[in-house]
Amino acid sequence: MDKRRLEYLQRMGIDVWVPRETGAEAAVASQPAAEAPATAAPSPAASAERDEAAPDWDWPALEAAIRACTACRLHESRTQGVVGVGDHAARLMVIGEAPGAEEDRRGEPFVGRAGQLLDEMLRAIGLSRRDGGVYITNILKSRPPDNRDPLADEVAACEPYLRRQLQLIQPQVILAVGRVAAQNLLKKEQPLGKLRGRWHFYGPDETPVWVTYHPAYLLRSPGDKAKAWQDLKQVRNRLASVS
């Protein structure tokens, strides 16, 4: 493992050891989560709703539509619609739940302490929101009051925006962070623990989806950072296999 990646992992709070006999990367915890094979079979076909064509926006039109959206009542309490940030030709698309207070104020997803941790996680697998290769967005583009879970009608109102972002970017891999993002993206009600550890597939192109913990959760539960690193390695290996 190179020195820079080791530094990023240490900032994430993950201890890494390297066996002397091989020099290969080893476990990050005494009992790391098992890695699921990257060749898992696709899940059943996506829902008919998801297969419907999104409006034919280009990027400027899409961003303008999100910022001006009044499709649900969240526009009454938000500061601004939060589009996303990163590379429009990204190989990896990170999808979270919804903007928080700071994201709503700044107009960018994943800022503050959780955003800093997400940045460290991405750097650990050689990616950056600023330097290319990744695009970061949310299921919802407007902040729910008091950071509550999204309502079904709010998710439905934002779904065409997310679908169009996926169509424009065509990522090779999707990383869903947190229970709410994973459940709404995959249209499944299983808890996060059941969704982690295997590949899912999204949409007619069957884009591979891996589920991991939300950075805000990892800040509260640092003991699960080792499992998150196992998730990140799955994503890194999948990207390497299709490069």
Q: What is the pLDDT along the chain (243 residues), one digit of tens a residue?
A: 666 666 666 666 665 544 433 333 333 333 333 333 333 333 344 333 444 556 899 999 999 999 999 999 999 999 999 999 999 999 999 999 999 999 999 999 999 999 999 999 999 999 999 888 999 999 999 999 998 999 999 999 999 999 999 999 999 999 999 999 999 999 999 999 999 999 999 999 999 999 999 999 999 999 999 999 999 999 999 999 987
Question: What per-residue confidence (pLDDT) applies to 179?
Answer: 97
Question: What per-residue confidence (pLDDT) applies to 43?
Answer: 39
Question: What per-residue confidence (pLDDT) applies to 54?
Answer: 66
The residue length of the chain stands at 243
Residues 6+ apart with CB under 8 A from 76: none
Question: How many Cα atoms sit within 13 Å of 215 on the Cβ side?
Answer: 23
- CATH of the domain spanning 42-241: 3.40.470.10
Q: Which of 229, 239, 241, 236 is nearest to 196 (CA)?
A: 229
> What's the rounded Cα separation, in Å, for the pair 132 and 91?
9
Please state the separation of Cα 25 from the chain's center in Å. Answer: 25
Q: Please count the other Cβ atoms lying within 10 Å of the Cβ belonging to residue 175.
A: 29
Task: Kindly list the domain boundaries of the chain, sorted by start residue.
Answer: 42-241
Question: What per-residue confidence (pLDDT) applies to 55?
Answer: 82
Question: What per-residue confidence (pLDDT) applies to 84?
Answer: 97
pLDDT digits (tens, 9 = 90+) for 20-55: 333 333 333 333 333 333 333 333 443 334 445 568
- The answer to whether 178 and 213 are in contact (CB under 8 A) is yes
End-to-end CA distance of the chain: 20
Please state the separation of Cα 147 from the chain's center in Å. Answer: 18
- The pTM for the full model equals 0.81
